[in-house]
Structure 1
Amino acid sequence: MNIFLLGYMGSGKSHIGKQLAEDLGYKFTDLDEEIEIQEKANIPEIFESKGEVFFRKMERHMLEKVLKSDSSSVISLGGGTPCYGNNMEIIKESPTATTIYLKLKVENLTRRLFSEKDHRPLISHLDSPEKLEEFIRKHLFERGFYYNQSEHIINCDSKSPEEIISEIKTRLG
């Protein structure tokens, strides 16, 4: 089984994914980290030097690689991964894939992301919490169509990582 964690940046996909994989005895894959390893650069550097289109192509390549893998894995997708091309469609068509949307309110995402915005190319230019909140609200509206196609939607507001992981494990049976 491959468990795909979806959600907006800052929703906890990597943090939750690592712990969930450890608990289940699965391999953990962070799609963004895999791209950074292959490109020998971090995401902001890739965006700056090669652009978002190149990044999205790399993201698709890594997604296809993960889908072909035989090992049971927890995969943390980039926030935009399910929204580009037919990425969500090919994930859902995989007989071994389960999708989980880690959902948070805009206010909680804004609070989490404002302090780390300089490390995130899509939001690094936003200079106030109000502008960031407006950006997130718009983005979530656009991406909600894809995120909400997940088999499981976990409301992560006011829950500890342990509570979120427990809920995921319960839903997976």
Structure 2
Amino acid sequence: MPAQSPRPVALVGYMGSGKSTVGRMLARGLGWTLVDLDRDIRRREGRSIPEIFSESGEARFREVEHEALAAALDGAERRVVACGGGVVLEPRNRELLRRADTVFLHEDIEALYERTRRPGRPLAAGGFADFERRYEERLPLYREVAGLRIHVGNRPARKVAKEIERWLKG
């Protein structure tokens, strides 16, 4: 159950779980602002996420991601934050996420793998074994920070957003 006063809502989950899409619908339904961390990072850095990874490395990306998350959650009532899939890897980020109403969008690994087979996803380029290893590494971290866990399945994003709204309203 979320806190009584409105706190920001953070959506976490593996790549392809629908964080940006559900976040957009949730923010619209609540009348709140959406912050898509990946979009914010691209704006801050003036380059794409694959470019950040290839030119500056994952460590630089994770530092910028932390800064963006801290800014997005800082005093941010009535804000929905769609996080990147690896945001939970950084302990400082997990601490920040505990201060928000955090929702884990859970999905089956096979569905996630199929959804992410396109260019522009820097950590999706490997095969299924690498994809699954990374997922298994992050799964307990998503669970650790989440106040609500939702299995997305093949449900429309608007239904998932409505379920989160009901949870927020108690």
Do residues 121 (structure 1) and 116 (structure 2) align? Answer: no
Tell me how far apart the structure 2 counterparts of residues 81 and 21 of structure 1 sit (CA, whole Å).
20
SS at match of 2:84: coil
What does residue 135 of structure 1 align with?
Answer: 130
SS at match of 1:166: helix
Q: Could you tell me whether the CA contact under 8 Å between 1:13 and 1:102 is conserved in 2?
A: yes
Tell me how far apart the structure 1 counterparts of residues 41 and 112 of structure 2 sit (CA, whole Å).
24
Q: Higher relative contact order by CA 8 Å / sep ≥ 6: 1 or 2?
A: 2
Q: How big is the alpha-carbon RMSD for the aligned residues of Structure 1 and Structure 2? A: 1.2
Q: Could you tell me whether the CA contact under 8 Å between 1:17 and 1:75 is conserved in 2?
A: yes
Do residues 109 (structure 1) and 104 (structure 2) align? Answer: no
What does residue 41 of structure 1 align with?
Answer: 47
Shift of 1:90: 2.4
- The runs of at least 4 consecutive aligned structure 1 residues that moved more than 6 Å come to none
Q: Could you tell me whether the CA contact under 8 Å between 1:27 and 1:71 is conserved in 2?
A: no
Deviation digits for residues 97-138 of structure 1 (CA, Å, limit 9, x no counterpart): 100000000111011112x1x2111122x3xxxx23x22221
Shift of 1:69: 3.5
Q: Could you tell me whether the CA contact under 8 Å between 2:108 and 2:153 is conserved in 1?
A: yes
Residue identity over aligned pairs, in percent, reads: 33
Deviation digits for residues 16-61 of structure 1 (CA, Å, limit 9, x no counterpart): 1011101101000011111100111010011111111111000111
SS at match of 2:15: coil
Shift of 1:15: 0.7
Aligned pairs for 1:49-60 within 5 A: 49-60=55-66
What does residue 161 of structure 2 align with?
Answer: 165
Tell me how far apart the structure 2 counterparts of residues 112 and 65 of structure 1 sit (CA, whole Å).
29
SS at match of 1:5: strand
What does residue 152 of structure 1 align with?
Answer: 148
Q: Could you tell me whether the CA contact under 8 Å between 2:66 and 2:92 is conserved in 1?
A: no
Shift of 1:11: 0.6
Do residues 78 (structure 1) and 84 (structure 2) align? Answer: yes
Tell me how far apart the structure 2 counterparts of residues 40 and 160 of structure 1 sit (CA, whole Å).
32
Shift of 1:87: 1.0
Tell me how far apart the structure 1 counterparts of residues 62 and 140 of structure 2 sit (CA, whole Å).
19
Q: Could you tell me whether the CA contact under 8 Å between 1:101 and 1:153 is conserved in 2?
A: yes
Tell me how far apart the structure 2 counterparts of residues 98 and 19 of structure 1 sit (CA, whole Å).
16
Unaligned ranges ≥5, structure 1 = none
Do residues 99 (structure 1) and 69 (structure 2) align? Answer: no
Tell me how far apart the structure 2 counterparts of residues 5 and 91 of structure 1 sit (CA, whole Å).
9
Paired positions, count: 162
Do residues 2 (structure 1) and 2 (structure 2) align? Answer: no
SS at match of 2:150: strand
Deviation digits for residues 140-165 of structure 1 (CA, Å, limit 9, x no counterpart): 21101110120000000121112111
